[in-house]
Amino acid sequence: MRVLYLACVLFYGKAFAAPVQSHQSGGAEHIVIIDRDHPTPPHVAEVLDRLTLHEGHPDVRLIYNNSAFRGFAASMKSRCLDLLANMSDISVVEEATSVGRATLSKRQSSLGYDTRLNAPWGLQRISTAVTVSGSAKAMDYTYSYANSDLGQGADIYVVDTGIYTEHNAFGGRAKMAWSYNNDMTDNDGHGTHVSGTAAGDVLGVASNANLFGVKALDSNGGGWSSNVIAGIDYIIQTHDARKSNSSSTPPFLGSVISMSLASSSPVQAINAAIAAAISAGIHTVVAAGNDGQDACRSSPASSGGLRGPAITVGSVGMDAAHRSSFSNYGDCVDVYAPGEDVISAWIGGRDMVNSLSGTSMATPHVTGIVAYAMGNRTLAGNPGLMKEWVRMMAVSVGVGGGGGVVVANNGVRGGEGVAEGMLGFEKTGVGAGFRMVGGGAAGRLRRAVEEGMWRLRAFGAVKSA
């Protein structure tokens, strides 16, 4: 991306004094997020005016304006940054940084797409508590599920390289919704692969969910944090519009963001945007990253686990006894999911598939589980409770990376004859919390649900410095 430059040489007093010198060239792109908790949070135009900028200025590249957060991305020099640092109603000022897909392996030759009803190994892994064995390249595994709606009415937003919407795996349920550069084509394949695992007809978990491509990464799988945040801005606006449309058929259940990407270090602005999206009621599932290190050292991974409200996903192989050697781990990881030799949809033809590895591949398994679980309206409307449900349904399989590996599960423990994942919930009265209705895990989950409600309140108070 070509970076535009802007110099701000201003005098900034307590009353926002007028500039004494015009703009000059120079400066890197920065992301600015307005503090929504300020007693009188300003509009974007007001902040820009303080810097003698406006929305149509060539150095102002992106405007963020939704129900959860407001801000902008612009090329600015040190004087502008100094002014922003002294504004009490600004919560984040951060230089735009590069992000990339969280795929480990080199692309393999595309395989012919076989329209058998049998599933890839990852779908069996997330719907059983027993051992899965065989060839990862085979399509002879069994995917078990309790709710035949399979995500119908749920919207999945894949923040990635785009989606090849004409692929037969999507059955007309996929569309490109937004692109940072107005190119709605997936020229890389990564976003299509992720989408196939999340909601493909044969290859995916929530095979009746809607898929929306939000293109924030380029044809090489790289991009900028400012574009990722612009994509989240679009998603929040669209989610709000969907909620207000009561006549949609099938009825709208909710939205989940899937982010199979990673940065080289924590990005405060991305984490703040994710927290804002979750506070707006949007479930968010993110990749742990592929550096074999603490997931808290990158974004968006550091927005989940014990540190934040997102659901962060690490990778396991077929035996699931240990985390994948490349997978990040630690307090910021919630669960692990299949991320090695995962077969999914690919670009280049409507029947093409490909096998890839990485936490990018693990993430959409959990995205699909979340969309699937939205069949329970209580879970659908409460991202904090959904996060606890995902953690509670996970199966403890083995030990890796110095800690236990818990593998994501949709609640249908195929091979054990257990189907406890689609529990019902009902409100039992003021102050009484929630009572679990049906399912063998009712007593075991009650305390977790109560803790989950507390955690939701705690996460709701998170605010970036």
Active-site annotation, residues: 160, 190, 360
Q: How far apart are CA 242 and CA 229, in angstroms?
A: 20
Residue 439's contacts (CB-CB under 8 Å, 6 or more residues apart) are 419, 420, 421, 422, 423, 424
Residue 18 burial (CB count, 10 A): 9
Around 182, how many Cα atoms within 13 Å sit in the side-chain half-sphere? 0
Residues in the chain: 465
Identify whether the C-beta of residue 336 lies closer than 8 Å to the C-beta of residue 316: yes
Q: How far apart are CA 213 and CA 176, in angstroms?
A: 4
Show the tokens assigned to 429.
């009265």
Burial class (CB in 10 A: 0-12, 13-18, 19+), 110: middle
Around 243, how many Cα atoms within 13 Å sit in the side-chain half-sphere? 14
Show the tokens assigned to 146.
């309790």
Identify whether the C-beta of residue 324 lies closer than 8 Å to the C-beta of residue 339: yes
